[in-house]
Amino acid sequence: MNAELEKKIREALANPQNVGEMADADSIGTVGNAGCGEMLRLWVKFKDDKGKRVIDKATFQSFGCETAIAVASMATELIKGKTAEEALALKSEDLSGGLGPLPPMKIHCAELVEGALRSALEPTTTACPPAATEVAPVATGTNLIDSLSQEQKPGVKITFLPPTAK
Amino acid sequence: MSEVLEAYPGAQRALFRKYHIGGCSSCGFQPTETLGQVCVRNNNLSVDEVLAHIRTSHDEDAKVLIDPKELAELLKQNTAIRLLDIRSREEYEAVKIEGSLLLSQPLMQEILGKWGQDATFVVIDHAGKTALDGAAYFLGHGYKNVRALRGGIDAWSLEVDEKLPRYQLG
């Protein structure tokens, strides 16, 4: 990653916009899988603007890549005031526009945000689903974040060893 | 890649630390892929260069590990060191090192967003199996001062604090 991009990501992460759940969202989109650690969820609230249904605000939660957090922070600002169709027309490179061109190995981070946006705004998911749509990640296989979530697997049974085991 | 990982158990950590490959599902790889295919997918990296880096992975892992006694000494001198516990909530609530923080989704966002890349922290697991992976994840994101506790909290209990009960899972 070049120094300029790294600096912009740092700046975005220092003061991320629109982080957190939204209780009264009109639609929710999720990409990734909370069970395996990497996940991005987007909440969207609409309002009426001169007869047009436009995005009033959007918030997100992310667990994983810092670039995805930076892009989500920018994207949730960018889509304000846009209709669902206008927001859906945005490509991952538009969403990460403020960061400048992303290197190939980081493009997936912006695609994650684009995926969450589609999940939230496409007609099949705009009816405020009670449970967010889970979309398979781009690629699967062994990875480090999976190791972390494996270690954190809930419901484990703990048996204390006798002091003599020391 | 499965053969590469078998020959070099630290290969995945090495790949992520330097090339941001294999950290999450989006930049992960399939066990059936060849190293060449992974290199092509990632900006046409030189296979020879990547292989040379993987071969140093064992030495790199050793540099990341910190012994329990060494950590105990450092904590006496430097209270700014954070302890990041990556075990399950059940284990953390049963046995923990005083002052350690349980990794959670909000904490992960706080680390990535607010701690800064110069933050010093030590990743702790149960018995030292995954703390290196956890540390490599942060090192791959540019954090410079991340270590992993050798032998996990189990070794801490054996070597530093005998009052801390040992446990097994299952």
Q: What ipTM was estimated for this complex? A: 0.76
Residues of chain A in contact with residue B1, where contact means CB-CB under 8 angstroms, are 141
Look at residue B66 in the predicted model and tell me its pLDDT. 96
Look at residue A129 in the predicted model and tell me its pLDDT. 35
Look at residue A1 in the predicted model and tell me its pLDDT. 56
> Rounded to whole angstroms, how far apart are CA atoms B109 and A163?
38
- Structural domains of chain A sorted by starting position, each given as residue range(s) with its CATH number in brackets: 3-165 (3.90.1010.10)
> Is A151 close to B112, i.e. CB distance below 8 A?
no
Look at residue A123 in the predicted model and tell me its pLDDT. 64
Specify which residues A27 forms β-bridges with. A44
pLDDT confidence tier of residue A111, bands split at 50, 70 and 90: confident
> Is A141 close to B28, i.e. CB distance below 8 A?
yes
Q: Convert the pLDDT of each residue in B148-158 to its tens digit.
A: 999 999 999 99
Residues of chain A in contact with residue B28, where contact means CB-CB under 8 angstroms, are 139-143, 146
The closest CB to that of B130, out of A109, A148, A158, belongs to A148
Look at residue B146 in the predicted model and tell me its pLDDT. 96
- Is residue A141 predicted with pLDDT exceeding 60? no
> Is A143 close to B28, i.e. CB distance below 8 A?
yes
Q: Convert the pLDDT of each residue in A69-91 to its tens digit.
A: 888 888 999 999 999 999 999 88
Report, as residue numbers or ranges, the catalytic residues of A: 36, 109
Pair A135, A44: CB distance under 8 Å: no
Choice between A122 and A160, residue whose per-residue pLDDT is larger: A160
> Rounded to whole angstroms, how far apart are CA atoms A115 and A106?
15
- Is residue A130 predicted with pLDDT exceeding 70? no
Is A89 in CB contact (< 8 Å) with chain B? no
- Is residue A139 predicted with pLDDT exceeding 50? no
> Is B26 close to A38, i.e. CB distance below 8 A?
yes
Overall fold of domain B63-159: Oxidized Rhodanese; domain 1 (3.40.250)
> Rounded to whole angstroms, how far apart are CA atoms A101 and B168?
48
> Rounded to whole angstroms, how far apart are CA atoms A54 and B140?
39
Distance from CA of B17 to the nearest CA of A (A): 11
pTM of the model: 0.62
pLDDT confidence tier of residue A95, bands split at 50, 70 and 90: confident
pLDDT confidence tier of residue A132, bands split at 50, 70 and 90: very low
Interface of A with B in 4-23 (CB under 8 A): 6, 10, 13-14, 16, 19
Dihedral (CA of B147, B153, B154, B155) sign: positive
Look at residue A134 in the predicted model and tell me its pLDDT. 33
Pick from B3, B27, B1, B34: nearest CA to B136: B27
- Please provide the average confidence, as pLDDT, over all residues in chain A: 76
Residues of chain A in contact with residue B170, where contact means CB-CB under 8 angstroms, are 156-157, 159
Q: Convert the pLDDT of each residue in B66-100 to its tens digit.
A: 999 999 999 999 889 999 999 988 899 999 999 99
Count of residues in chain B? 170
> Is B90 close to A150, i.e. CB distance below 8 A?
no
**Within chain B, which residues score under 70 in pLDDT?**
24-26
Residues of chain B in contact with residue A37, where contact means CB-CB under 8 angstroms, are 24
> Is B88 close to A151, i.e. CB distance below 8 A?
yes
Distance from CA of B88 to the nearest CA of A (A): 4
Residues of chain B with CATH 3.40.250.10: 63-159
- Is residue A96 predicted with pLDDT exceeding 50? yes
Q: Convert the pLDDT of each residue in A15-54 to its tens digit.
A: 778 888 888 889 888 887 544 446 788 899 999 998 999 9
Q: What is the mean pLDDT of residues A113-142?
A: 55
Residues of chain B in contact with residue A150, where contact means CB-CB under 8 angstroms, are 130
Q: Convert the pLDDT of each residue in A8-18 to its tens digit.
A: 777 777 777 88
> Is B30 close to A19, i.e. CB distance below 8 A?
no
